[in-house]
Amino acid sequence: MRLVLLGAPGVGKGTQAELIHERLGACQLSTGDVFRAAKSGCGGGELSPALTEALQFMRRGELVPDATVLQIVRERAGCLRCQGGFLLDGFPRTVAQAEALDRICAEHKTGIDAVISYELPIEKIVSRLSGRRTCEKCKAVYHVESRPSKTPGVCDHCGGNLVQREDDRPEAVRVRMEAYERSTAPLADYYSRRGLLVRVSAEGTPEDIFERTCEALVPKKG
């Protein structure tokens, strides 16, 4: 299937993207992963002009413009032609990007089958993110309640210190949620009007959510 995944920070959208990729065979394109790999130098090879430009905006703490994001997606458009289907994670984020995605899909004679919106009450999102701890050295992620390290404050893998990221503090999470709601509510409406939006509860374990995802997609399968 050809899917777009929507969801606020903390709902577990990235985990679901990995499960869909692994178990359903869909080609995964995550703009966030692309940006992070380029920023850390893990992507290998020379960066494209669009990706170089995106990193410049990110280093200044600015949003990457739609035109730049779209060019990066175009550079990876082969994913849209994958016979096993594809899933887009982190794109589109705005109605303008969604309209541009429609044009890109039309160019490649494909389209979107469903848009999955993972939903969770804001208080639970705040709890998930504010309890998250990240290793300063290897960047492994833990949670003080659901996935604690064996020794409090110490990474199981490398012994590094576990810290709370600035943007995982409760007040910062609420600001991020407000920004997400402002940008994504119109996007959900856009896909809902086209009959593509599927709402899935992000409560429970990753396996629970994946099972609900598969059930929700049954009516969308031709």
Q: Which residues are catalytic?
A: 13, 93, 132, 165, 176
State how far the alpha carbon of 49 is from the alpha carbons of 52, 68, 72, 206, in Å: 5, 9, 9, 37
Q: How far apart are CA 140 and CA 138, in angstroms?
A: 6
Where are any strands of DSSP class E within the chain? 2-7, 27-30, 86-89, 114-119, 132-135, 141-143, 162-163, 197-201
Task: Answer yes or no: are the C-beta atoms of 83 and 25 closer than 8 Å.
Answer: no
Q: In which residue are the tokens 């402002």 written?
A: 182
Rounded CA gap, 137 and 150, in Å? 17
